[in-house]
A and B are shown apart, each in its own frame.
Chain A
Amino acid sequence: MLLVVREHGLLGIMKIEITPELIIRYHQGQCTQEEKEVVVEWLLDPEAEENLHLPDGEPELIHKFEIWQGISNGVKKNARRGRLIRVLKKELYAIRPITRLAIAATVLLFVGSLAAGIYYPTRSVDGQVSLDNLAGNTAKNGKLASLSFTLSPQSKAEANIPAWTRAVQIRFCGSLQVTNNSENDVELVFSSGCKKTNYTLQKVTVAKGKSYLATHYRMETDEIIVVDKARILDLPPPLVSQFIKDFKLI
């Protein structure tokens, strides 16, 4: 029913700012589960690198890549472990403490997520999907396990589930609808795949059988809007018309 009422289902959506204090709390294991996942998302988001504020000339991306590479190689080849540790130490001491904390957290998370993967071997959705409807005039459908996607015209989206979290990461530009056809609640993390990168993440937990709509909007700042399909009238009026047309709603 009620468009009116399902409005209230948005309680799950929240925005968590990345701050040095948050990173420190993360390292100290004092974060909530939501905060942990936002930190992880931020750490693994290549477009977030500019927010690290490294000293001029600090090749942070390269450092991070080398460390990951080193870990990967080190896991496979014990013989190279000594050199890896030396590289790690050298690289880590060369960068700022806050970044060091972030990297340490990433490593911890990587190990933790491997453990979580063993602990939670089954998931309601799995894999990845890439949809492109940039040249389309009508909506385009796609699936990722038990999630179904409907992409508006002039939109694109990629969805996957990284090993370190059970949340489905959806990176998109334009507008889309996601329906949870599984028997469990599914957590979705929406990020922008548009050229602009100053959009904040939006997270939502979608109950089984429910659909959510996500789109880009600018009132005062660029933002991603995510609403329960049943509360489509929560969208700004121009978008309501568009969504009704694209997704045959109401």
Chain B
Amino acid sequence: MQMSRICTLIAVLLTSLFISCDKKPADKANPNERPYGILVYSADAEKEFLIRAESLMEGSYEVPKTARQVEPIVFAYKDGSYYGIDENKRSLTRYKPTENELVADKVCSLDTIPWKYFSSWYDWVSPDTLLIGSTMEGSQFVYALVDVRTMTVASHGTFDIPFPVKPEYYGGVFAKLRDNRIYIAYTLYEGVNSLAPARDTTYMAVVEYPSMKTLDLQKDTRSTWPGGYFLHAPFSLVNNGDIYLLTQPGGRTHNHPTKSTGIYRIKKGEDKLDPTYFFRPTDQQNQEGYLLYDLGNGKALIKMVEKKRVNRYMDYLEKRIVDYYILDLYTQKKTRIDLPPDRLKFEYNVLVENDQVYVAVNNGNNESTIWRYHVPSGKLTEGITIDGQVYMINRLQ
């Protein structure tokens, strides 16, 4: 009898222990306690996962044992939700962050609409409406409007933009919605089995929204390869209503022998590439620029590659070849930040909070360090280290 009581007591204690452990992860997902969401890939653990951090400046983070694989291609975070696309399942999924993972909240099927991940883009029409677009692997511009409250496709269709003539494809892709216009820029290049440079021309269609009627098609030869071909990296920004758009005719995208990285402007209230503005932050011989992160107040961050560090394509993937520069879009000047060299990754590894810019830099192994840069003073401070490669940083709401 005595033994039986003891056994019962032990059983009750163990059960209560398991119950309390089980509750732990979801209940602690309080943004106020751990306000930063960091998506990380660990080469050692061979998985992508979410880290919730109290601070970006103190401590270090390893792969949590409870970390679960993040499955989709996450490309956006807005108002408390992450959004990811799974091309194989042909679905757009909304995720909620918990303490240590992204939990699928609602799925929108893309099964019945034309969609290809390669060479795609997105923009927000409103907090409730997501506009996603694709070039269908360089052959046709299509779009879909998704109501993210119900996660349903509200409408979809094609843009009236001239088709490329074989053997050419659309190359580079930029699209931005402003007021009742969508500006879509691209170039043309020969695709498979051709290493011929892209055309030396940037094309830009001006499309009326929501009628999706094409109003104008412009050409500009100051640079080429506008934008990129990634859904999940920034190539443009809006400052005081003016759109600034980066061109990337470098070896990582599609090398052009004479055209250099540049920034076009589409002025507020005007439907054209501003002929009076073209910011060339570097020359074609020495550097290539990639990605444009909005710092606010007419400033931007750019990843710059010294061409002398690149002798072959694999150098883009293996070497730490990137320097970070602050661009002043008004004065057209650039200032190098004294950060260690980084790998060239097309991702959201930058977070801006007021005057502070947080940049996650790969340390040349399976580890990253987040640095804080104070824009007005230029002060640089080393922050947390993370066991993995950071590809998205957000302040969770």
- B118, A221: Cβ atoms under 8 Å? no
- Count of chain A residues near B, Cβ 8 A: 38
Q: How far is the CA of A223 from the CA of B40 in the complex (A)?
A: 30
Bitwise interface map of B from 225 to 255 toward A, beta carbon under 8 Å scored 1, else 0: 0000110100000000000000000011111
- Count of chain B residues near A, Cβ 8 A: 54
- B88, A5: Cβ atoms under 8 Å? no
- B318, A13: Cβ atoms under 8 Å? yes
* B147 interface hit (Cβ, 8 Å): no
- A223, B74: Cβ atoms under 8 Å? no
Chain A binder among B215-223, B271-279, B308-316 = B308-316
- A241, B391: Cβ atoms under 8 Å? no
Contacts of A227 in B (CB 8 A): 317
Chain B binder among A17-25, A28-36, A229-237 = A229-237
- A219, B137: Cβ atoms under 8 Å? no
Residue of A nearest to B345 (CB): A7
Question: Most B CB atoms within 10 A — which of A4, A7, A240?
Answer: A4
- A236, B254: Cβ atoms under 8 Å? yes
Of the residues A1, A239, A241, contact of B137 by C-beta under 8 Å: A241
Asked whether A250 and B117 contact (CB < 8 A) given A2-B391, A13-B318, the answer is: yes
- A7-B41, A241-B169 given; name 13 further pairs at CB < 8 Å: A1-B70, A1-B84, A2-B48, A5-B41, A11-B365, A219-B255, A221-B312, A234-B317, A236-B253, A237-B138, A237-B253, A238-B194, A250-B118
Contacts of A247 in B (CB 8 A): none
Shortest Cβ gap from A47 to chain B (Å): 19
Shortest Cβ gap from B163 to chain A (Å): 16
* A220 interface hit (Cβ, 8 Å): yes
* A15 interface hit (Cβ, 8 Å): yes
- Give 12 CB contacts A-B under 8 Å: A1-B84, A4-B73, A5-B347, A8-B41, A8-B43, A219-B312, A220-B251, A220-B311, A220-B312, A236-B313, A237-B191, A242-B191
Question: Most A CB atoms within 10 A — which of B189, B232, B312?
Answer: B312
List the 7 shortest-distance A-B pairs measured between CB atoms, nearest first.
A5-B41, A8-B389, A242-B192, A223-B312, A250-B87, A219-B313, A5-B48
Asked whether A233 and B229 contact (CB < 8 A) given A2-B70, A15-B314, the answer is: yes
Shortest Cβ gap from B77 to chain A (Å): 14
Q: How far is the CA of A145 from the CA of B12 in the complex (A)?
A: 52
Q: How far is the CA of A11 from the CA of B46 in the complex (A)?
A: 12
* A10 interface hit (Cβ, 8 Å): yes
- B192, A2: Cβ atoms under 8 Å? no
Q: How far is the CA of A225 from the CA of B137 in the complex (A)?
A: 21
Shortest Cβ gap from B283 to chain A (Å): 18
Contacts of A240 in B (CB 8 A): 118, 229
Asked whether A238 and B193 contact (CB < 8 A) given A1-B69, A2-B73, A9-B46, the answer is: yes
* A108 interface hit (Cβ, 8 Å): no
Question: Most B CB atoms within 10 A — which of A9, A202, A210?
Answer: A9
Shortest Cβ gap from A205 to chain B (Å): 11
